[in-house]
Amino acid sequence: MAQQTTPYSYTERKRIRKSFGKRESVLNVPYLLTMQRESYVAFLQKDVPPQKRKPEGLQAAFLSAFPIVSHNGFVEMKFIEFNMAKPAFDTRECQQRGLTYAAAVRAKLQMIIYDRESPQAKTVKEIKEQEVYMGEVPLMTDYGSFIVNGTERVIVSQLHRSPGVFFEHDKGKTHSSGKLLFSARIIPYRGSWLDFEFDPKDILYFRVDRRRKMPVTILLKAIGLNPEAILAHFFVFDNFRLMDSGAQMEFVADRLRGEIARFDITDKSGNVVVEKDKRITARHTRTIEQSETQFISVPEDYLVGRMLARNIVDADTGEIIAKANDELTDALLKKLRVAGVKELQALYTNELDEGAYISQTLAADETADQLAARVAIYRMMRPGEPPTEDAVEALFHRLFYSGDTYDLSRVGRMKFNARVGRNVPEGPMTLSNDDILDVVKILVELRNGRGEVDDIDHLGNRRVRCVGELAENQYRSGLARIEKAVKERLGQAETEALMPHDLINSKPISAALKEFFGASQLSQFMDQTNPLSEITHKRRVSALGPGGLTRERAGFEVRDVHPTHYGRVCPIETPEGPNIGLINSL
C-alpha cells in the first residue's frame, strides 16, 4: 500500500504525493526556489515598514544616490522613504494582455532650499516634500519567475569572482626560463582594480585598472612612506661599527648559519672559529655564542656592495652624507670615516629567503617624495592633462579612499581580512594604507618562498549574485543617471518655484530595468517543458553575463569540475558545446 507523504508538492503546488518506496524518506526535500525568492524579497523589502528597512536592495540604491546637492550648495534633495503600489493586474491578466507584472515605486523626497542672502551658516528658506514616481519594478510570481511583456522569464544567478585579494603565479608560462612570477590583485565590488606583479628581473610593479605598470615604491611613497620607512617595513638590518681599517658586525646566529665564510671568523679573544671558505654550521655559531662575542670583525670588502638602511646625517652640519638604499662603495666608506661616522646599518639580504626585491625596486624608482609619486600616478591615469596639486590629490583620493567610487563590499572586506591574517571580519569598505602595505608584504613573502598562492577556481573564491543583487545594480545605474540630470537642473537659475517631481524624470530607471529584464544575457525565456525543468532553470548558475566571463576567453580550468563543487554544484549537469562548465546547477 503506497503511503501518503507531504500534502503539498515541493513547489507549493497543491498535489498529493504518494511514495511507493520501501523505506520512509529520511530528509524532507527543502523548498527548492528559496535562493530566488529570498533574494528578491530582500531586494524589495516591501512588507517591511520604511523605518525598519535594512540598507540593502532598493533602499541601498536610494541611499547611495541621495542626498543630491546642487553645485552651488544652496539646494538639496533628500530621500525619506519609498513605498510600492499594488500591481494593476494579476499574473494571469498580464500574460493574456502581454503586459509586464510590475509595481510602481514611489519615493518620498524632500527639497530643501537654503537662503542665499543669509550671512551666517546655512539657514533653511523652505522645505518641500513630495512623493515622486520612480519607475516600475517587475515583481516575482510565487514560482520565482517574472512576467515581462506577457512571457514568463527567469533571471539566472551569476557566479563571479568574489571581491577581496588574490595571490597567484603565472605557472612559469611568461618567461622562457620557467621562473614563477608572482602577482596579487585587489578586486573591489566596484571601483579600480589594483594589481601587483613581479617581472623576470625581480622588480615589483603595480598597475591600476590594467594600465601601464610602475614600480611599487611609487605607490608606497604616494601613501606617505619615505624610503627609510619602506625599507624598515620589508627588511631586517645588520648593524656595523666602522673601525680605522675594516669594521665590526653585530653577531646574529641565524643570519650566519649555512653561509660560506668569506674570511676567517674570530671570537672576541681573537681565536679563529671558522676558517675562510668553510661553511658555518650550528656548532660554530654555538661556539661564538658561548664565548659571549657580540661583534665579529669583518674586512672592508664585506661591506662594499651592501645597501644602506638609513639616511646618514653629518652630526655637525646636518647635511645628508648618504641616503637610505645607497650602495656602499670604497669611496663612500672613506667619506663616512672622514665625517666621523662610527655606526651604520645595512640591509640583510640573501639569495634564498630574503631577496632584495623592494630595495631593487626603490633603486629603479625615479620619484623623490610623496607629491612626485602622486603626480606620476596622475600622469599614468590621465595622460596629457596638466597635473595641478589639487587635481593630483583629488584623483589619488578618489582611486581607493572614497566611498563613492570605491566599494569592497562586506564580503570583500571579510575575505580581504581573512587572507591578510586579521581576525576581524568587519572594517571600512575602502582601502587603507595598511591594506596596501599588507598585500605587498605577503607578495614579497611568497617570492621569498613562504606561504601559498590561492586557487582561483575554488568556490570559496567565487560568489553568487542572485536576482535581487543584479536588479539592484541596474536600479543604481538608473538612479546615477537621474542624479546627474537633477544636479544640472538644480544648477540652473529659478529652482525655487520647482517641485521635486519637476526635476526627476523616471525614464532612465525604467529603461535600465526594462533592458535588464527584457534583454540581458541572464534574463532567459523560462524552460516550461515540465515542472522539473522549470525548477532546474531557476536553480541555474551562470559564469557568463555582464561583469562575468565570455565564452571565447574562458579557459579549461574555469570550466573544470573542482573538488569544492562536491555537494554544492552539480558536477554532471552542464550543457555540451561552447558553454560547457560555464553554466552549472545548484
Among 19, 32, 437, residue whose Cα is nearest residue 194:
437
* Composition of the chain by helix, strand, coil, percent to 5: 30, 25, 45
Please give the residue that has the higher pLDDT: either 156 or 118.
156
Pairing of strands 540-542, 157-161: parallel
- Under 8 Å between Cβ of 365 and 353: no
Among 108, 54, 44, residue whose Cα is nearest residue 77:
108
Quote the pLDDT of residue 14: 66
Q: How confident is the model at residue 75 (pLDDT cuts 50, 70, 90)?
A: confident
Rg (CA), the chain: 33
Domains of the chain (ranges plus CATH)?
34-159+467-585 (3.90.1100.10), 165-228+361-463 (3.90.1110.10), 234-348 (no CATH)
Most confident of 279-288, 388-397, 491-500: 388-397
Q: How confident is the model at residue 13 (pLDDT cuts 50, 70, 90)?
A: low
Q: How far apart are CA 185 and CA 206, in angstroms?
A: 9
Phi, psi of 238 (to 5 degrees): -100, 130
pLDDT digits (tens, 9 = 90+) for 387-438: 888 888 888 888 888 777 888 888 888 888 888 888 887 888 888 888 888 8
Residues 6+ apart with CB under 8 A from 280: 256, 257, 258, 259, 260, 261, 265, 274
pLDDT digits (tens, 9 = 90+) for 111-148: 888 777 776 777 777 888 888 888 888 888 888 888 88
Per the prediction, the chain carries an average pLDDT of 81
Q: How far apart are CA 467 and CA 121, in angstroms?
A: 45
Q: How confident is the model at residue 238 (pLDDT cuts 50, 70, 90)?
A: confident
Q: How confident is the model at residue 9 (pLDDT cuts 50, 70, 90)?
A: low
Q: What stretches of 382-466 show up as alpha helix (H) in DSSP?
A: 389-400, 409-420, 433-447
pLDDT digits (tens, 9 = 90+) for 526-577: 888 888 888 888 888 888 888 777 877 777 878 888 888 888 888 888 888 8
- Under 8 Å between Cβ of 167 and 443: yes
Phi, psi of 213 (to 5 degrees): -90, 150
Quote the pLDDT of residue 259: 75
Alpha carbon of 141 to those of 2, 41, 105, 374, 585: distances in Å? 33, 11, 17, 52, 21
Q: Is 564 helix (H, G, I), strand (E, B) or coil?
A: helix
Q: How confident is the model at residue 495 (pLDDT cuts 50, 70, 90)?
A: low
Task: Return the ∠ at Cα 140 (arms to 136 and 141), rounded to 5°.
Answer: 125
* Whether pLDDT at 453 is above 60: yes
Quote the pLDDT of residue 7: 54
pLDDT digits (tens, 9 = 90+) for 15-49: 677 778 777 767 777 888 888 888 888 888 888 88
Q: How far apart are CA 22 and CA 434, in angstroms?
A: 62
pLDDT digits (tens, 9 = 90+) for 348-360: 877 777 778 888 8
Amino acid at 396: F
Q: How far apart are CA 158 and CA 168, in angstroms?
A: 23
* Whether pLDDT at 497 is above 80: no
pTM: 0.81
> Out of 109-113, 197-201, 207-211, 311-315, which region has the weakest mean confidence (pLDDT)?
311-315
Among 193, 70, 53, 140, residue whose Cα is nearest residue 491:
70
The full 3-state SS of 123-148, as one line of letters, equals CEEEEEEEEEEEEEEECECCCCCEEE
Cis omega before residue 575 (within 30°)? no
The full 3-state SS of 138-190, as one line of letters, equals ECECCCCCEEECCEEEEECEEEEECCEEEEEECCCCCCCCCCCCEEEEEECCE
